[in-house]
Structure 1
Amino acid sequence: MNALLIIALVVAMGATAYVLVRGVIAMANGKDVSGEIQQNYMQKRVMFQAIAIVIVILILIAAGAGK
């Protein structure tokens, strides 16, 4: 179970980093005058970060229950 949670955490962290880089690239291009694309990337980044935090909490709970 812990291995599955760790894999899920790595995937969530990778998704967060990917969306962060895509958002920075979109901002650097300067084509989005309204800021809608950057806002969309920011919302996705926050969602992936929240998922990663929940997975960390589940890992900590599982580690505490094993003792």
Structure 2
Amino acid sequence: MFLDAHRPLTPEEVYDGEYWRKCATMTRDEARASPDADLQARLLRIASGYDRLAGYADAIERAAQED
């Protein structure tokens, strides 16, 4: 499983924008599959947060490459 609640994230995952984009995609897929509108809304908010994390990770990577 991509997101495993039973293990901590590695630094490589934390700073990998693609990792967070995959999390967002998986969460959106779960939202689409849910018949519960409230759950869909919550999952879509979580996916949006993953997208923000991807952006932060990408910005950190760009800044590190500039140094």
TM-score where L is the length of structure 1:
0.53
Aligned partner of 2:24 among 19, 22, 35 = 19
- How much is the aligned-residue C-alpha RMSD, in angstroms? 2.7
Structure with higher Rg: it is 1
> Matched residue of 1:30: which SS?
coil
Q: Given that residues 31 and 41 in structure 2 are in contact (C-alpha distance below 8 angstroms), is that contact kept between their aligned partners in structure 1?
A: no
Aligned partner of 2:15 among 9, 12, 33 = 9
Higher helix fraction (1 or 2): 1
Structure 1: gaps spanning 5 or more residues? 1-5, 63-67
Match of 1:59 in 2: 64
Inter-partner Cα distance in structure 2 for 1:30 and 1:44: 22
**RCO higher in 1 or 2 (8 Å CA, sep ≥ 6)?**
1
